[in-house]
Structure 1
Amino acid sequence: MGDKMKKVKVIFSISFIFYLLVMLMLMFLDNRGYMWTNLSMFEYIRYSSNLIPFRTISTYIQAIFDGSMNIDVPIKNLSGNLFMFLPMGIYLPFFIRKLHKANLFLISMIVILFVLEVVQLITRRGSFDIDDFILNLIGALMGFGIWKSKVAQKLLR
């Protein structure tokens, strides 16, 4: 491994740790009022889950156009969920060579995102929202596309 590649690996490793810490804080340590302790787990899951694809996304898009909510809410939610996992599309294939293949990367991200959504739900630190899952997956795939681009690969040589 060349000197340049060692420096890149150190920089990527440090930035990945920082990224994971920020993600941990955003997903599990931010108190967003989901701690409905007066509900049973079944009730909590029932009231805080969205299993209908594009329900939340379409609500936010509609709100952008009709002004039915403060525009910051849909913009932050849609863009936040879309870009939150974009770095994962770069970090995972960088550190795990097997994930250079699109199908293995996709399967890995589906598993990771599903586990994170379930953990958020059972710890009552969030909800299980299929739309968050969809946006997070699209973001990760965008990152993977950046990773696979000729520009990124040229920079790493």
Structure 2
Amino acid sequence: MGFLKKLYKILIPFYTLFLLYLMFFGFGRSQYDINIVRLIPMFSTVGFVKQTILWKTIIINIFGNIVMFVPFGFLGIVFPKLNNFWIMILDFLFAIILIESLQYFTRLGVFDIDDVILNTVGVAIGFWIYRKWASRVLA
């Protein structure tokens, strides 16, 4: 586990920067003319699915919002207090709401509650994968 812990400690900051780049500048993103906030859960996601023709685009968007955040479920490797599920989730919610707010205020994205929900699901999945993996490795 020592090697993987060291590797994770090295890679997670770069991965975090990569994700922040995608969230603010990636996918040809430019600044919106107005600030946009979407607070009705799953409303924008359902609308996106209804309006999108290609299933590939739907899968990339929805599952990407989940899968891209799975690595953050392993943060207990680096920060032992995050081995507690509820502390992990609450800390992540604080961070992702802050990031979504920055997207809103900079107009380099949209504050979308669906992103908060899907990203948090990704962290929760990552946490449970990490806990299963750690229980086998440490057992």
**Which TM-score bucket, shorter chain as reference?**
0.7 to 0.9
Structure 1 contact 32–125 (Cα < 8 Å) conserved:
no
In structure 2, relative to structure 1, the CA distance for the partners of 1:80 and 1:119 (3 Å cut) is same
Q: Which residue of 1 aligns with 2:16?
A: 20
Indicate yes or no: 2:31 matched with 1:35: yes
Indicate yes or no: 2:59 matched with 1:75: yes
Scaled by the length of structure 2, the TM-score of the pair is: 0.87
Q: Which residue of 1 aligns with 2:135?
A: 153
Q: Which residue of 1 aligns with 2:45?
A: 57
Deviation at 1:20, TM superposition (A): 1.4
Deviates further, 95-104 or 24-33? 24-33
Q: Which residue of 2 aligns with 1:84?
A: 68
Classify the secondary structure of the residue corresponding to 1:30.
Answer: coil
Structure 2: tracts of 5 or more residues without a match: none
For residues 54-109 of structure 1, give each alpha carbon's deviation from its aligned partner in whole angstroms, at most 9, with x where no partner exists. Answer: 1122224445xxxx52323222110111112111011x211111111111111111
For residues 93-145 of structure 1, give each alpha carbon's deviation from its aligned partner in whole angstroms, at most 9, with x where no partner exists. Answer: 11111111111111111101100100111122110011111100111100011
Q: Which residue of 2 aligns with 1:115?
A: 98
Aligned AA (1:57): T
Identity %: 30
Indicate yes or no: 2:114 matched with 1:139: no
Scaled by the length of structure 1, the TM-score of the pair is: 0.78
Q: How many positions carry a matched residue from both structures?
A: 139
Supply the distance in 1 between the matched residues of 2:43 and 2:79 (Cα, whole angstroms): 34
Deviation at 1:34, TM superposition (A): 4.1
Aligned AA (2:47): T
Supply the distance in 2 between the matched residues of 1:76 and 1:8 (Cα, whole angstroms): 28
Structure 1: tracts of 5 or more residues without a match: none
Aligned AA (1:89): G
Deviation at 1:16, TM superposition (A): 0.9
Supply the distance in 2 between the matched residues of 1:31 and 1:146 (Cα, whole angstroms): 29
Supply the distance in 2 between the matched residues of 1:112 and 1:24 (Cα, whole angstroms): 12
Supply the distance in 1 between the matched residues of 2:120 and 2:113 (Cα, whole angstroms): 10
Q: Which has the larger radius of gyration?
A: 1
Classify the secondary structure of the residue corresponding to 1:52.
Answer: coil
